[in-house]
Structure 1
Amino acid sequence: MSEQQFESWKIPESATLAEYIDSRVARFSTRKYDFDALKFQADYDPKYRRAQMRYMGTGATGVSNDSNTVTAENFTFSTMVLPAQCEGPLHMHHDVEEVFFMLRGCIDLFIDHNGEKYSTRLNERDLISIPPGIHRGLFNPGQEDALMCVMLGTGKPTIPTYPEDHPLSKVKRNK
């Protein structure tokens, strides 16, 4: 392969290499947990309260802009804090694969696809990749916060949907 085939990106003419690379760094020290990203769910029922810390892109939580993230091109990346006994409601991403990687604690993950149900426990350093078009939900059975990485396989995922019979399918998001 030629050198030209490897060079698929260009530094913007208005930036130095250092400025460009620095714009692609998201440091933990400048992140904060956003408990408002999914506030509409927690407002419906406090068991859904959890927080997103964005690193690359804004994910699929409905946050439309966060200037404190690395611009997403091919995927988004965030961490999610899941308080004890927290539930992430059953939802589906129609357009994108979603990956969960457990950093601390555990979650019970639920899958529902065409009437078939499956559940598994993810422990520290476990990973699951969930294809598009499959409902997934989670529960933190522990007494302490769980922490996981969430990656979505596109730079701008669409907002997930809920099963028609789930109460959150009728809740309007505050924008």
Structure 2
Amino acid sequence: MSNGVLEEAIKKAAIAWISVADGPAYALWCMPADSSLVVVSGPGEQFAPGLAEADRATVRLRGDHGGLIVLAEATVTRLTPGSDEWNEIAPQLAGKRLNATGSATDVVARWSADGCAVVRLTPAAESAIGAADIPAESHAEPPRDSPARAETPRPFRLHHVRKPG
């Protein structure tokens, strides 16, 4: 696969499907930074089980048409609050955070105080698989159980309609 395809997919990424070990892939909001993706997770942020503690993850990126074009193994590096890398990247990430309450500085301070994980995912070009080599079968799975998932109630009917007969 061309390294250019991976680089371009990273540059255009706003969302990536990230999985840790053999776990399910989660659609996570991300920000491109150099040749990496930066993701925030934790209290009050997106749910990414195991990502903060992981050292490797699988990243799936979509193309302009919305379909999967790159699948790659990535090195996971957790940024430490107060480090030079944190001070450079966290404010940029907070500035792009939609629906955040407060300024970017307030959001970064909350991430640090609440123990949120800001991680850098650096995909390895040699592990990247392009669209031509990705299996053609669907990667769709049934919905996972979640407290947010509720059965849809039957429609309310004001009057009972009788069938002619």
TM-score, normalised via structure 2 length: 0.27
| Higher-Rg member (1/2) | 2
| Greater strand content | 1
